[in-house]
């Protein structure tokens, strides 16, 4: 967030009386959302479609327009310590929130469901900005509507999303939506298998394992259909101090959104592998000869995924030198020998 609100992309001057603060705020917001490497992001890449849906809904009464304006004006107000901009953002947001509630109720009949989903994400982004500014805890205001939260809570994503789940277009040829679909299915599978216990039948337990394995295969498909620049590179140097790299390893990604998508994929896989191991423990190894090997493979997979998540932390968080200088991040634009966390 600090990087998104920083001077990476300078704001346009607003001294021209013909240019409104709202226009300056929107221009800076979209510049920061599109061209900066640490731009506005969600774990499923939904904000990649923000410019498209924003232009598509221009001139309409779609909630996406005022919600975007509220976020842009709030970011401008925080950067420039402008009470008037923050007040404008608040009033714009309050009006839009009521309209968004109506949009969500009519989600299955909505002509642009993607715009509604983006509006929900932007609401959370606005709330998050204001929580940071006011130093208060952040609570996801649409917690039941987000599949990733269901992975954490062990609840069914399809039940939490309701009609929204059926309305989502989860085409397999769209790598962002393919990941979203897999996360929803992983949450559903974990919720369903959590109700199984030692009294469940062998068929129920094996069915749960097979369901998790099927989703695992589709998650593997995601790694094969992502763009080439979404692949990350592993870097290791035994001289790197442990407080800045995990096991002397630091992975580098195209940008923080790509890194977040990879960790969304990893979190879904961890949930599935944990589900598989839990079900195997309820079965006798004599039921199926490959269960012991499957358990060992799943445990090894969880260990590898956990290491990958830890190795992504330097890229997410950056490092700070011994002085109070700026936070430094691994950078793809440097030679491999220097393409790591830099210490000053």
Asked whether residue 196 falls in the same domain as residue 280, the answer is: yes
Question: Is residue 158, in this structure, part of any structural domain at all?
Answer: no
Nearest to 33 by CA among 9, 14, 13, 57: 9
Asked whether residue 134 falls in the same domain as residue 282, the answer is: no
- Count of domains observed in the chain: 2
If you average pLDDT over every residue of the chain, what do you get? 75
pLDDT, greater one: 265 or 5: 265
Cα distance between residue 88 and residue 102, in whole Å: 22
Pair of tokens at residue 270 = 């961890």
Question: Is residue 326, in this structure, part of any structural domain at all?
Answer: yes
Asked whether residue 82 falls in the same domain as residue 175, the answer is: no
Asked whether residue 169 falls in the same domain as residue 297, the answer is: yes
Question: Is residue 11, in this structure, part of any structural domain at all?
Answer: no
**pLDDT value at 176 more than 80:** no
Asked whether residue 192 falls in the same domain as residue 113, the answer is: no
pLDDT confidence of residue 107? 56
Maximum mean pLDDT: which of 23-32, 102-111, 137-146: 23-32
Model pLDDT for residues 91-141, shown as the tens digit of each residue: 998 888 878 777 766 655 555 567 877 888 888 888 888 887 887 765 544
Query: Could you list the residue range(s) of the whole structural domain that residue 84 is in?
Result: 21-141
Question: Cβ neighbours of residue 127 under 8 Å, at least 6 residues apart?
Answer: 138, 139, 141
Pair of tokens at residue 73 = 């004006």
**pLDDT value at 3 more than 80:** no
Q: How confident is the model at residue 341 (pLDDT cuts 50, 70, 90)?
A: very low
Pairing of strands 249-252, 233-236: antiparallel
pLDDT confidence of residue 336? 38
Number of helices and strands (H, E) in the chain?
12, 2
Asked whether residue 170 falls in the same domain as residue 298, the answer is: yes
Whose structure tokens read 């130093």?
135
Asked whether residue 183 falls in the same domain as residue 297, the answer is: yes
Q: Count CA atoms closer than 13 A to 74's CA, side-chain side.
A: 27
Check if the beta carbon of residue 235 is closer than 8 Å to that of residue 336.
yes
Largest separation between any pair of C-alpha atoms in the chain: 79
pLDDT confidence of residue 43? 47
**pLDDT value at 337 more than 50:** no
Asked whether residue 137 falls in the same domain as residue 170, the answer is: no
Question: Is residue 191, in this structure, part of any structural domain at all?
Answer: yes
pLDDT, greater one: 293 or 95: 293
Whose structure tokens read 């006798």?
284
Cα distance between residue 101 and residue 63, in whole Å: 10
Asked whether residue 113 falls in the same domain as residue 214, the answer is: no
**pLDDT value at 144 more than 60:** no
Asked whether residue 288 falls in the same domain as residue 325, the answer is: yes
How many CB atoms sit inside 10 A of residue 310's CB? 14
Question: Is residue 110, in this structure, part of any structural domain at all?
Answer: yes
Question: Cβ neighbours of residue 121 under 8 Å, at least 6 residues apart?
Answer: 42, 46, 47
Q: What is the CA radius of gyration of the chain?
A: 22
Question: Is residue 12, in this structure, part of any structural domain at all?
Answer: no
**pLDDT value at 162 more than 70:** no
CB-count burial class (<10 Å; 0-12, 13-18, 19+) for 75: buried
Question: Is residue 151, in this structure, part of any structural domain at all?
Answer: no
Asked whether residue 31 falls in the same domain as residue 172, the answer is: no
Model pLDDT for residues 38-94, shown as the tens digit of each residue: 555 554 556 667 888 888 888 887 888 999 999 999 988 988 889 999 999 989 988
Cα distance between residue 123 and residue 64, in whole Å: 10
Burial track 153-169 (b if 16+ CB lie within 10 A, e otherwise)? eebbbbebbeebbeebe
Asked whether residue 75 falls in the same domain as residue 214, the answer is: no
Cα distance between residue 20 and residue 15, in whole Å: 9
């Amino acid at each position: 967030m600090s990087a998104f609100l920083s001077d990476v992309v300078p704001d346009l001057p607003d001294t021209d009386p013909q240019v409104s603060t709202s226009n300056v705020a929107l221009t800076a917001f979209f510049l920061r959302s599109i061209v900066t490497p640490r731009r506005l992001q969600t774990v499923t890449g939904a904000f990649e479609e923000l410019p498209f849906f924003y232009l598509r809904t221009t001139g309409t009464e779609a909630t996406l327009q005022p919600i975007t304006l509220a976020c842009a004006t709030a970011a401008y107000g925080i950067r420039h310590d402008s009470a008037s901009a923050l007040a404008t953002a608040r009033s714009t947001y309050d009006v839009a929130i009521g309209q968004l509630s109506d949009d969500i109720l009519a989600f299955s009949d909505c002509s642009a469901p993607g715009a509604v989903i983006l509006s929900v994400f932007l609401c959370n982004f606005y709330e998050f900005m204001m929580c940071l500014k006011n130093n208060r805890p952040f609570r996801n205001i649409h917690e039941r509507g987000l599949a990733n939260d269901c992975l954490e809570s062990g609840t069914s994503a399809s039940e939490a999303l309701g009609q929204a789940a059926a309305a989502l277009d989860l085409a397999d040829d769209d790598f962002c939506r393919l990941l979203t679909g897999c996360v929803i299915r992983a949450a559903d599978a974990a919720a369903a298998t959590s109700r199984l216990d030692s009294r469940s039948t062998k068929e129920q337990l094996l069915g749960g394992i097979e369901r998790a394995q099927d989703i695992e295969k589709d998650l593997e498909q995601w790694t094969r259909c992502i763009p080439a620049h979404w692949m990350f590179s592993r870097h290791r140097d035994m001289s790197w101090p442990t407080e800045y790299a995990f096991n002397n390893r630091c992975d580098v990604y195209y940008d923080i959104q790509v890194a977040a998508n990879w960790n969304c994929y990893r979190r879904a896989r961890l949930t599935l592998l944990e589900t598989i191991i839990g079900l195997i423990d309820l079965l006798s190894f004599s039921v199926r000869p490959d269960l012991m090997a499957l358990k060992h493979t799943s445990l090894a997979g969880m260990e590898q995924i956990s290491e990958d998540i830890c190795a992504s932390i330097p890229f997410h968080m950056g490092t700070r030198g011994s002085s109070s200088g700026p936070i430094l991040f691994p950078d793809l634009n440097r030679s491999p020998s220097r393409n790591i966390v830099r210490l000053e």
